[in-house]
Amino acid sequence: MSREGLQRLLAERGAISVAAFMEWCLTGSEDAYYRRAEAIGRSGDFVTAPEVSQIFGELIGLWAGAVWESMGRPSPVMLVELGPGRGTLMSDALRALRVLPGFREAARLHLVERSERLRALQAEALAAASPVWHERLDDVPDGPAILIANEFFDALPLSQYIYTGGVWHERVIRLDTEGRATFAAGDPAVPPLPAGMPSPEDGAIFEARLSAQPCIEAIGRRAQSVPVAALIVDYGYGRDSFGETLQAVRGHGYTDPLAEPGESDLSGHVNFAELRRMAAASGLAAWGPLPQGEFLLALGLEARLERLISSARAEQATSLVLGARRLTDPYQMGELFKAMALTSRGLQPPPFTGGFPPGGGQESG
């Protein structure tokens, strides 16, 4: 993947959609970004919550344990992670779950991961749990399931539409008169605008993550016959709106998405209202979203932090406090990142209340 490779692709095709561009850069070939780059961690391009603090994965593990008990402690239960990164979250989660008798024996670990490079890191981190890898969620064996998706949906291809001259167009990437890749208005298109959206102004951009629907539908199909709970943690917004959120990150800083195709991480904010609609159409109950800080504090972050600090050296204690603050501070990850749960009927996952029942409902806290 390179700028020259993108120019050749555009010269051949004329133009490609934003969604196709994201897929081409991230997973579209053997040398795409996620298939070869060491993206995650301080030596990579970005840091995710599990890399910030072990408390994040531990609390997710305790959440999974509480959900398992509310399901009636089924055995076996499929413990599934979508996009497991380096395996850090699941390693921390499984360590915390040692306190719950029976769970480790019941759990069958399944990882949905396409990158061979990341699979190797996951195999090393999770060797004791004997994980099984899959290309797609549909390939995970049948049975009760608890799914974790941390910073998974933000990297799924994002479609964009631009309103210009009184008409919606799909937003595309094409070569300008000087042979450089640039964003442009493509053919007229009908975006999947939800009811109640205001009239757009000229130049307005609307984003839709149609690529998320197959995953939500797969969860819904499983939930028709067995108990299922999925936890989605990602950065994004809770109400429909216009605006562009596509971004590129390299070396822990933002860069032009077209400047280094295949060399930087591409993502876009998650529209949790869109996920709620997909969940309802798939027969799932949706809970939240809650701000990440509120979610983690409700799961007992402060108590876990105090316990870790009590046996830590001074330097370790400082690192633990700073990590916990980064996860929960509204000006860092605490507000922008949000947590949502999708469940089969009859399940109420902690710490959510209210809920968004299948077929209708309102946003809950």
| Alpha-carbon span 302 to 300, nearest angstrom | 6
> Which of 244-253, 299-308, 345-354: highest mean pLDDT?
299-308
pLDDT at 365: 41
- pLDDT of 205 > 60? The answer is yes
- Average pLDDT (246-255) is 85
239 Cβ contact partners less than 8 Å away, ≥ 6 residues apart:
273, 363
pLDDT at 97: 96
Closest CA to 231 of 170, 287, 297: 287
Confidence of residue 45 (pLDDT cuts 50, 70, 90): low
pLDDT at 38: 60
Q: Which of 33-42, 195-204, 301-310, 346-355 has the lowest mean pLDDT?
A: 33-42
| Alpha-carbon span 60 to 94, nearest angstrom | 9
- pLDDT of 53 > 90? The answer is yes
Q: Which residue has the higher pLDDT, 357 or 66?
A: 66
Confidence of residue 275 (pLDDT cuts 50, 70, 90): very high
- pLDDT of 82 > 90? The answer is yes
| Alpha-carbon span 126 to 71, nearest angstrom | 25
Closest CA to 304 of 93, 86, 80, 47: 93
pLDDT at 157: 96
- pLDDT of 79 > 90? The answer is yes
Question: Which two structure tokens, joined as six digits, stand for 343?
Answer: 């469940």
Q: For residue 10, how many other CB atoms are within 10 A of its CB?
A: 20
Confidence of residue 359 (pLDDT cuts 50, 70, 90): very low
Q: Which residue has the tokens 């399940």?
A: 347
> In Å, how far are 21, 75, 78, 346, 349 from 70, measured between CA atoms?
42, 13, 15, 10, 8
Confidence of residue 27 (pLDDT cuts 50, 70, 90): confident
101-130 pLDDT tens trace:
999 999 999 999 988 889 999 999 999 999
Q: Do 230 and 343 form a contact (C-beta atoms < 8 A)?
A: yes
- pLDDT of 294 > 90? The answer is yes
Q: Which residues pair with 207 in a beta bridge?
A: 160
Closest CA to 136 of 86, 83, 91: 83
Q: Give the CB-side neighbour count of residue 357, counting CA atoms within 13 A.
A: 5
Q: For residue 354, how many other CB atoms are within 10 A of its CB?
A: 13
Domains for the chain: give ranges and CATH numbers: 33-157+208-343 (3.40.50.12710)
pLDDT at 39: 57
pLDDT at 129: 97
Query: What value does the mean pLDDT of the chain take?
Result: 91
Percent of the chain with pLDDT over 90: 78
Q: Which residue has the tokens 């509310």?
A: 70
119 Cβ contact partners less than 8 Å away, ≥ 6 residues apart:
111, 113, 133
Environment class of residue 213 by beta-carbon count within 10 Å: exposed (0-12), middle (13-18) or buried (19+)?
Answer: middle
- Average pLDDT (343-357) is 83
pLDDT at 250: 83
| Alpha-carbon span 35 to 54, nearest angstrom | 26
Confidence of residue 361 (pLDDT cuts 50, 70, 90): very low
- Average pLDDT (172-176) is 94
- pLDDT of 360 > 70? The answer is no
Alpha helix stretches (DSSP H) within 14-140: 18-26, 33-36, 49-52, 54-70, 88-96, 103-106, 116-125
| Alpha-carbon span 337 to 291, nearest angstrom | 6
| Alpha-carbon span 25 to 292, nearest angstrom | 29
Q: Do 234 and 154 form a contact (C-beta atoms < 8 A)?
A: yes
Residue 200 gets which letter from DSSP? P
